[in-house]
Amino acid sequence: MATGKAPLLNTDSSSAAISNGGPVQFVRLEEDLERFSLGRRSTMPAVNGDTQLLRLRTGPERKFSSPMMPAFMVSAPGKVIVYGEHAVVHGKAAIAGAISLRSYLLVTTLSKSRRTVTLRFPDISLDHTWNIEDLPWSTFQHPSKKKFYYSLVTSLDPDLIEAMKPHISNISPHLPPETRKIHQASASGFLYLYLSLGSQTSPASIFTLRSTIPIGAGLGSSASICVCLSSALLLQIRALSGPHPDQPGEEASLQLERINRWAFVGEMCIHGNPSGVDNTVASGGKAVVFKREDYQKPPTVTLLKNFPELPLLLVNTRQSRSTHTEVAKVGVLKKAHPVVTNMMLDAIDKVTESAHTLISSPKFDKNDPATLQHLGELIVINHGLLVSLGVSHPKLERIRELVDHAGVGWAKLTGAGGGGCAIAVLKPGVKHETLQGLEVQLDSEGFEIYQTTLGGDGVGVLWPAVLKNGSDEDGGEEIDQEKFLMAVGNEGVERLVGVGMDETREGWKFWRY
Ligand SMILES: Nc1ncnc2c1ncn2[C@@H]1O[C@H](COP(=O)(O)OP(=O)(O)OP(=O)(O)O)[C@@H](O)[C@H]1O
Ligand SMILES: C[C@@](O)(CCO)CC(=O)[O-]
């Protein structure tokens, strides 16, 4: 059994060393399943793609049955890259942290007589159903192609992409090409994972997704949905244990690693050449230093346990763009000017390293003005280098100019650039009126401002999809599709199922390193 290599997870101060492809433990989930499997006893799941079949001994011969699962929900955060975007694609380090904006995915298992799988993604107006039997299982299940829930997949298989094509190319045929591209990207991410992890006997299901993360804004929306899809599919095939509050850190890390590996595969479908930093933060949350020098091997992830609560302003240009395009731009520049581009990528690496050294120093004090000045100057240098790489945008430059002019702090683009978001680290002691003046100006120019702190939880599970929500319903309020789809705007979604930085919401559980 090829388990592949686990990522090296170091931690700074109070360290949590982790995960090394040991045997998976199904204990907790099996317990949960028993509660929901009509009282029938199940054995351990098989370790191939047929894990959703529980083997039930009902006499001399074995029968297969797929008991109904309760509706359940998963959620994963977006992220902000503080230092190192783009360079991280080329093997350099980046520092990134989870934010409180999140995606939420409700998984509804249909009755056994139904043989369809549906994506309901209202944020992008996608609603698509496949007949499970029509999907190219034979290609994905072929012994030369078959992947397992514990496999390490570092590139997409062209034959599998080809086999998926007819099932992707007929999605939303009457919509404009730009919209179809978005639909097909999300559907490809799902289908590749579904066909890799499931089987022809996978239960009929509806996957309903809503996200509070702006799309194509540099905040890791695609990674967040990929983590939701990966964790939901792994939970459906019972390949994850937990999460539960008393789960040992090592076991939780192993589950996170599995989720993260498959989320990376989804990211490859959506944006081509991801570094893996976004899905790593969306899986594990917190703040990390991330580096992937060799794409055939897992990345090195260093948890920044004491990442400071930086006073951060997050501003969205509302100029949407694709990460795929921006990453490709840097690739083209590197080909045309290898020496100069490599020097800029190296310089970004040094910026990240300098920030990391400072943040992890025992003397680090986030309230010390000189310290913030140092981190702020690194922000400005990092932005300048990204401009030189050609991934800024006039609107990002305008935000930088306004922040500079107001004298409130240090700004840079975050994520892929080309539009999307900028972050500003605020100077200590900035007057409230000054900051308010800046916010009014940004708002009047059409920019959107978010309040955020970095370092929240990663992927979480609500199993079954029931929350207290102050409801009188026996055992809590059941979150069904209709309620979820009817929730109005981000506020409605957060009010119904939200779990961000500050809420401790009964029901949601997280794998924690
Ligand atoms: N809420 C959502 N519903 C469905 N699909 C989504 C959603 N959010 C993101 N996606 C998918 O992810 C794509 C956007 O990913 P992209 O990597 O370009 O931007 P991002 O992840 O927001 O930014 P960055 O990678 O810079 O952090 C969309 O085109 C869509 O295919
Ligand atoms: C631009 C990039 O560095 C960050 C996108 O959020 C791409 C990546 O790391 O995959």
Q: Let me know if residue 2 belongs to a domain.
A: no
Which residues line the pocket of ligand 1, CB cutoff 6 A? 103, 121, 123-124, 182, 185-186, 209, 211, 215-223, 225, 270-271, 278, 322-323, 415-416, 420
Of the three residues 421, 451, 481, the one that is the final residue of a domain is 451
Tens digits of residue pLDDT in 411-448: 999 999 999 999 999 998 899 999 999 999 999 999 99
428 shares a domain with 281: no
57 shares a domain with 138: yes
Q: How far is CA 513 from CA 11, 145, 245, 280, 361, in A?
A: 10, 32, 11, 12, 22
Q: Let me know if residue 471 belongs to a domain.
A: yes
Q: Let me know if residue 297 belongs to a domain.
A: yes
For 243-331, strand residue ranges (E) read 287-291, 300-303, 312-316
**398 Cβ contact partners less than 8 Å away, ≥ 6 residues apart:** 445
Question: What is the span of the domain harbouring residue 426?
Answer: 308-451
Of the three residues 404, 425, 451, the one that is the final residue of a domain is 451
Residue 394 exposure: Cα atoms within 13 Å on the Cβ side = 1
SS3 407: coil
477 shares a domain with 445: no
Asked whether the beta carbons of 371 and 378 are under 8 A apart, the reply is no
CA of 74 to the centre of ligand 1 (A): 17
Report d(CA 391, CA 478) in Å as an integer: 45
Of the three residues 427, 451, 475, the one that is the final residue of a domain is 451
Q: Establish whether residue 75 lines the binding site of ligand 2, counting it when its CB lies within 6 angstroms of any ligand atom.
A: no
Q: Let me know if residue 3 belongs to a domain.
A: no
CA of 60 to the centre of ligand 1 (A): 51
Q: How far is CA 410 from CA 12, 78, 84, in A?
A: 26, 22, 16
CA of 83 to the centre of ligand 1 (A): 20
* Ligand 2: nearest atom to the Cα of 278: 6
CA of 459 to the centre of ligand 1 (A): 17
340 shares a domain with 480: no
Report d(CA 182, CA 127) in Å as an integer: 12
CATH number at residue 482: 3.30.230.10
**471 Cβ contact partners less than 8 Å away, ≥ 6 residues apart:** 477
243 shares a domain with 359: no
CA of 308 to the centre of ligand 1 (A): 27
Helices and strands per DSSP (H, E), number in the chain: 14, 18
Residue in 5, 16, 14, 470 with CA at minimum distance from that of residue 284: 16
489 shares a domain with 435: no
104 shares a domain with 34: yes
Q: Closest residue (by CA) to atom 29 of ligand 1?
A: 182
Q: What is the pLDDT of residue 18?
A: 26
Q: Let me know if residue 194 belongs to a domain.
A: yes
Residues of the chain with pLDDT under 50: 1-66
* Ligand 1: nearest atom to the Cα of 323: 18
214 shares a domain with 119: yes
324 shares a domain with 224: no
Q: Let me know if residue 456 belongs to a domain.
A: no
For 296-447, strand residue ranges (E) read 300-303, 312-316, 409-414, 421-426
Report d(CA 508, CA 159) in Å as an integer: 39
* Ligand 2: nearest atom to the Cα of 330: 1
Catalytic residue IDs: 278
Q: What is the pLDDT of residue 69?
A: 85
422 shares a domain with 473: no
146 shares a domain with 85: yes
Report d(CA 382, CA 359) in Å as an integer: 16
Q: Establish whether residue 85 lines the binding site of ligand 2, counting it when its CB lies within 6 angstroms of any ligand atom.
A: yes
Q: Let me know if residue 460 belongs to a domain.
A: no
Report d(CA 434, CA 379) in Å as an integer: 21
* Dihedral over Cα of 352, 355, 358, 361: its sign: negative
Q: Closest residue (by CA) to atom 1 of ligand 2?
A: 416
Residue in 432, 433, 435 with CA at minimum distance from that of residue 424: 435
444 shares a domain with 318: yes
Q: Establish whether residue 299 lines the binding site of ligand 2, counting it when its CB lies within 6 angstroms of any ligand atom.
A: no
Report d(CA 223, CA 285) in Å as an integer: 12
Please state the domain count of the chain: 2
CATH number at residue 388: 3.30.70.890
Q: Let me know if residue 145 belongs to a domain.
A: yes
* Ligand 2: nearest atom to the Cα of 219: 6
Q: What is the pLDDT of residue 475?
A: 76
